[in-house]
Structure 1
Amino acid sequence: MNINMTLFAQALMFAGFIWVIARFIWPPLLTAIEDRQKKIADGLAAADKAKAELAAADTRVQEEVKAARAKSSEIIEKANQTANQMIEKAKDDAIAEAGRQRAAALAEIDSLSARAKEELRKQVAALAVAGAEKILKREIDQNAHKALLDQLAAEI
């Protein structure tokens, strides 16, 4: 066997092997690699998109939380204002009621004072009559002197 022939046969076999690989194996292998690269690229793009959406969602959540806190602060402030208004109204009502009760008490005091004065006038008139009776040592006719006693009670 000749070394040149062997070398030539091996080169021919190698060329045939390369042709078979290039014709039947390489295109499906490249297609599979390209598909895999596309899937990886799509997956990375989807991950980036998901990260962006997550960031946007976080931003929206933060905005919603801020809005909810602002709304709750507003509601609390309105509740405090309403409570203060109710307290002020209750104070005003209490002051008005105290004024009405004071006026009623003053009216009652005036009425009782007038009754007491009238009662005192009657008692003074009765004492005057009793004193006059003792001085005169006789009984005064009350019907005859009623006008005199009324005048005396009015003067007192």
Structure 2
Amino acid sequence: MNLNATLFAQLVVFFVLAWVTMKFVWPPLMKAIDERAQKITDGLAAADKAKNDLVLVEKRVGEELRHAREAATELRGGAEKQASQLVDEGRAEAARIIAAARVAAEAEAGAAAQRAKEALRDHVAQLAVAGAEKILRREIDAKAHADLLAQLKSEL
């Protein structure tokens, strides 16, 4: 066999194989490689976007926490102020009730003292009449001397 013919045949087979590979095998391989590269690129872009979204969400969460803390502090301050105001109002109401009770007790005591004075006057008048009866040894007519008894009550 001739070396030139073999070399020529191998060269033809190589080019045919290269052409078949470039025509039928290479495009699907390149397509698969391109798709894989695109998926990797999309994945990296999605990861970057997710990272940026995470940063934004963390900022938003931080702001919401700050607002919530401020609202809680404001609410607590308002509650403390309202509680203090209610305590002050309760103290004022208690003082008013105590003062009213004292006035009522003093009025009741004054009325009781007045009733006791009246009862004492009546009793003294009855004793005076009884004493006068014993002294005079005769009975005094209560109707006839009603004015005398009223005058005696008022003097006592």
Asked if these proteins are the same fold (TM beyond 0.5), I'd say: yes
Instruction: Give the letter for the 2:89 counterpart.
Output: K
Aligned length: 156
Q: Specify the alignment match of 2:56 in structure 1.
A: 56
Instruction: Give the letter for the 2:47 counterpart.
Output: A
TM-score of the superposition, structure 1-length normalised? 0.71
Aligned equivalents of 1:35 and 1:127: distance in 2?
130
Q: Specify the alignment match of 1:44 in structure 2.
A: 44
Map residues 86-125 of structure 1 onto 2, 5 A cutoff.
Answer: 86-125=86-125
Q: Structure 1's 10 and 125: CA in aligned 2 closer, same or farther, altered over 3 A?
A: same
Listed as ranges, the gaps of 5+ residues in structure 2 are: none
TM-score of the superposition, structure 2-length normalised? 0.71
Listed as ranges, the gaps of 5+ residues in structure 1 are: none
Aligned equivalents of 2:35 and 2:5: distance in 1?
43
Deviations 1:22-68 (A, max 9, x none): 45543553344223212211122112212322342344334334434
The range that moved more, 67-76 or 123-132, is: 67-76
Aligned equivalents of 2:28 and 2:16: distance in 1?
18
Aligned CA RMSD, in angstroms, stands at 3.2
Aligned equivalents of 2:47 and 2:85: distance in 1?
56
Q: Structure 1's 16 and 141: CA in aligned 2 closer, same or farther, altered over 3 A?
A: closer
Aligned equivalents of 2:23 and 2:152: distance in 1?
151
Q: Structure 1's 145 and 16: CA in aligned 2 closer, same or farther, altered over 3 A?
A: closer
Q: Specify the alignment match of 1:132 in structure 2.
A: 132
